[in-house]
Amino acid sequence: MGPLEGLAFGLGIAVTPVNLLACFVGVLIGTIVGVLPGIGPVGAMALLLPSTFALNPATGLIMLAGIYYGSMYGGSTTSILVNVPGEAASVVTAIDGYQMARKGRAGAALTVSAAGSFVAGTVGVFGIVLLGTWLADLALRFGPPEYFALTVTGLMVLSRLSGGSVLQAFLMVGLGLAIGTVGMEPISGVRRFTFGSIQLSQGIELVPVIMGLYGVAEILVLAEQGMKTGAISKVRLRDLFPTRAEWRQSSAPIARGSVVGFLTGLVPGPSTVLATFIAYALERRVSTTPERFGTGAIEGVAGPEAANNGATAGAMVPLLSLGIPFSPATAILLGAFVIHGLTPGPLLVSQRPEVFWGVVASMYIGNLMLLVLNLPLVGVFVSVLRMPQHVLSTMVLLLCLVGAYSLNNSMLDLWVLVGFGLFGWLLRKLAIDPSPLIVALVLGPLMEKTLRQSLFMTRGNVLDIVTRPLTLGLLLVGVLVLAGPPLARRLRRPR
């Protein structure tokens, strides 16, 4: 069966009434957990994993996968409307999305997000179908040294996401790297900065840090400003759709975000979060008017929102082609395969074509459903803003607390949320951008782990690490991106 025949065969399976229903339930739950701040896809999927016991394998997987990519649609909603990310992969969306909302363009931002997610989802499905095996083999060529180089380059390029002071960005990066070392070191089990506390040995999770720095901090700022509801945008219904100019500005970022996101999905770890940061940095760099970013540039919404959905498709590649999950969400999907006695891996497509193609094809149908579901909802979501500020803030705060607890059933995650909420509020007062901290917290643990593994591999020989061709190439890319523009400017200036 060729890839396109397979997809057609899969569509036949995915459109059976029960699978359509499963897909719809999945994407609906996904949209809801995406919209609700704090509660993310991983928690929801873990919660619903046992309920797939009773379903047949393809149906159960179609539903769980729907939650995963569906959450990427919903995540942007609260980012744009109230500056509180709906889930971790929508932090970047808040930067320009919220500014757009304040200018009365919330509807446009939400519509572009949904459209971007849809395009990325479509690109992703075809990416899986046409390039899946090839990309999985490519991912295998990345060993610990290559991932180390990738994280170093990533940190160099992404640490100054939104401009601003270099010194502040470096401070935030340092802090993020330090926070990433707390807890039990994952490969040798040494406990660091735990002060003998068994709770702290689990480490500081990314999600409560993000929800604290952005969500709780925002609510504290709002509370401080008092009940100035007028500060929040009034949205008129006729402003719901993007203007022709806005569509034009968004189309290229959506295309770039789709590709970048899909490829980033192949990186182990929280790749959806990483994808949004990369897409935002990319848009800012290619823009002819980078100064608009941070003040409501629609490119800063379109790129990242396409990228996080693209990354969910990319993350399916190692799972479906190798049977190996690269991210926490796909690990749960692997669990769902196993519950049904299936072993995803190189043979899945030939042994159980109905499951493989059914799930892949359902992703396309699911994305279509999400588009249809989300566009009419834009108006509903925007009307949330008419809710009294004190009610909305209290709800958001509660949801953040519930979401943080649902990650690991851990009280520590709640304290991290509260602590970083206060810290985030302080940073807002000082007008310091916390995003470099997030970048460092995403990349730091991966960077440290892969460096240590590389050193184990080469028995401590650093030269062996940096002279691998891919490693060297990746590091050079980082240097070029960083040093290129200033060098070019200097070369041009003497004239």
Partner 1 sequence: MTRLGLAAVLWLAAAVPAAAQYPERPVTLICPFPAGGAMDMVARNLGEAMKKTFPKPVVVVNRPGAAGTIGNAEVVQARPDGYTIGISAVAVLTVQPHLTDLPYKGPDTYAPIIKLVNLAIVLAVRSDAPWKSARDLLGAAKASPGKLRVSTPGVGTILHLNLEDLKTRAGVDLTHVPFAGNAEALPALLGGHVEASMVHPSEILPHVQAGKARVLLAFEPKRLALYPDAPTARELGFEITNGVYYLLIAPKGTPPAAVQALHDAARRAQADPAFVAMARTRGFDIDYLGPEGMAAQLRESFRNNEELVKRLGLRK
Stretch that binds partner 1, among 29-37, 77-85, 343-351, 365-373 (CB under 8 A): 343-351
Q: Which two tokens stand for residue 18?
A: 């029960």
Look at the alpha carbons of 4, 331, 401, 210 in this order and tell me if their dihedral is positive or negative: negative
Q: C-beta of 143: minimal distance to partner 1 in Å?
A: 3
Q: C-beta of 101: minimal distance to partner 1 in Å?
A: 35
Residue placing its CB nearer to partner 1 in the complex, 10 or 145: 145
327 DSSP 8-state letter: S
Residue placing its CB nearer to partner 1 in the complex, 68 or 425: 68
Position 422: which residue type?
Answer: L
Cβ atoms of 131 and 142 closer than 8 Å? no
Stretch that binds partner 1, among 226-234, 282-290, 293-301, 331-339 (CB under 8 A): 331-339
Residue placing its CB nearer to partner 1 in the complex, 44 or 82: 44
User: Cα–Cα–Cα angle for 341, 347, 353, nearest 5°?
Assistant: 75
183 DSSP 8-state letter: E
213 DSSP 8-state letter: I
Q: Which two tokens stand for residue 333?
A: 């999907």
Stretch that binds partner 1, among 4-12, 292-300, 346-354, 482-490 (CB under 8 A): 346-354
Of 449, 451, 465, 474, the residue at the interface with partner 1 (CB under 8 A) is 449
Stretch that binds partner 1, among 81-89, 333-341, 365-373, 480-488 (CB under 8 A): 333-341
Which H or E element spans position 184?
strand 183-184
- Nearest C-alpha neighbor of 266 from the set 326, 306, 309: 326
51 binds partner 1 (CB under 8 A): no
Q: C-beta of 203: minimal distance to partner 1 in Å?
A: 7
- Nearest C-alpha neighbor of 213 from the set 400, 41, 40: 400
Of 39, 333, 369, 417, the residue at the interface with partner 1 (CB under 8 A) is 333
Cβ atoms of 161 and 439 closer than 8 Å? yes
Beta bridge partners of 184: 191
Task: Enumerate residues 190-229 that contact partner 1 by CB under 8 A.
Answer: 190-191, 196, 198-199, 201-203
Q: CA torsion, points 157, 160, 166, 169, in degrees to nearest 10?
A: -110
338 binds partner 1 (CB under 8 A): yes
Position 213: which residue type?
Answer: L
Instruction: Classify each residue of 475-494 as buried b or exposed e, where b means 16 or more C-beta atoms within 10 Å of its C-beta.
Output: bebbeeeeeeeeeeeeeeee
Q: Which residue has the tokens 């990650």?
A: 407
Residue placing its CB nearer to partner 1 in the complex, 82 or 443: 443
Q: C-beta of 18: minimal distance to partner 1 in Å?
A: 21
181 binds partner 1 (CB under 8 A): no
Q: How many residues bind partner 1 (CB under 8 A)?
A: 57
Stretch that binds partner 1, among 2-10, 213-221, 304-312, 325-333 (CB under 8 A): 325-333
Of 232, 320, 322, 440, the residue at the interface with partner 1 (CB under 8 A) is 322
Stretch that binds partner 1, among 46-54, 127-135, 308-316, 417-425 (CB under 8 A): 46-54
Of 345, 353, 419, 478, the residue at the interface with partner 1 (CB under 8 A) is 345
Residue placing its CB nearer to partner 1 in the complex, 42 or 115: 42
- With 0-12 CB in 10 A as exposed, 13-18 as middle and 19+ as buried, what is 107? buried
Residue placing its CB nearer to partner 1 in the complex, 174 or 268: 268
Stretch that binds partner 1, among 123-131, 181-189, 276-284, 479-487 (CB under 8 A): 181-189
- With 0-12 CB in 10 A as exposed, 13-18 as middle and 19+ as buried, what is 174? middle
Of 75, 300, 323, 403, the residue at the interface with partner 1 (CB under 8 A) is 323
Residue 64 and residue 62: Cα distance in Å, rounded? 6
Q: C-beta of 53: minimal distance to partner 1 in Å?
A: 7
Beta bridge partners of 192: 183
Binding characters for partner 1, 128-147, by CB under 8 A (x = yes): -----------xxxxxxx--
Cβ atoms of 317 and 266 closer than 8 Å? yes
Q: C-beta of 265: minimal distance to partner 1 in Å?
A: 15
Of 1, 11, 28, 49, the residue at the interface with partner 1 (CB under 8 A) is 49
Residue placing its CB nearer to partner 1 in the complex, 183 or 310: 183
Residue 228 and residue 96: Cα distance in Å, rounded? 22
Of 418, 453, 466, 475, the residue at the interface with partner 1 (CB under 8 A) is 453
Instruction: List the helix and strand counts (H, then E) for the chain.
Output: 21, 2
Residue placing its CB nearer to partner 1 in the complex, 181 or 251: 181
Instruction: Classify each residue of 431-441 as buried b or exposed e, where b means 16 or more C-beta atoms within 10 Å of its C-beta.
Output: ebbbbbbbbbb
Residue ranges that bind partner 1, judged by CB under 8 A: 45-46, 49-50, 53, 139-145, 183-184, 186-191, 196, 198-199, 201-203, 268, 318, 322-326, 328, 331-336, 338-339, 341, 343-348, 408-410, 449, 453, 456-457, 459
